[in-house]
Structure 1
Amino acid sequence: HPDGAAYAKPSLKSNSTVTDGTEQLVTWRWSIKSQQWDTNPADDEAWEWADIDDLQIGVSLRGDLGCICTQVYVEVDYTYEPPTPPVTPEYQRRVLMQKQPDDSYKEVSADYPLEVHDPKVGSLISYEGTTTADGEGDGSTLVDSVLETKSDFNGNLVIITSGAYEGQARDINGGTTGGTVTPASAFGDKIVSGVTFVIVGIRTVPAEVAAIEAALAAHEASQATHRTALGTHETAQLASRGEVTSIETKVDDLDADLVAVKTETALIKTQTDK
Structure 2
Amino acid sequence: MNKKFLLIIAAALIIISSGIYAYTYTTATGTLGTPTPTGDIATVNATANQPGWNDVLTTANEDIIYRPIGIGDETAIKSQFPASGEHWDKVDETTSDNDSTYLYTPTTNYEEDLYITANHSTQTAGGDIQYVEVFMVSRVILSAELNSAYVHIKTNGSEYNGASENLSTSYALYSNQWNINPQSSSSWTWSEIDDLQTGVAMRKAGPAIDSRCTQVYANINFDAPELNGNTPTDDLFEITVNDDYDGNLQVRVYLTNTNDLLKAYDNLSMYLYLESSEEAGKTPSYQLMNLQNGIAIFNLVGISGGSYTLSVTGGTYQLFSREISEWEAGWTVTPELYCEAEQR
Structure 1 length-normalised TM: 0.36
Structure with the larger helix share: 1
Q: Which has the larger radius of gyration?
A: 1
- The TM-score normalised by the length of structure 2 is 0.29
Higher RCO by CA contacts (8 Å cutoff, separation 6 or greater) = 2
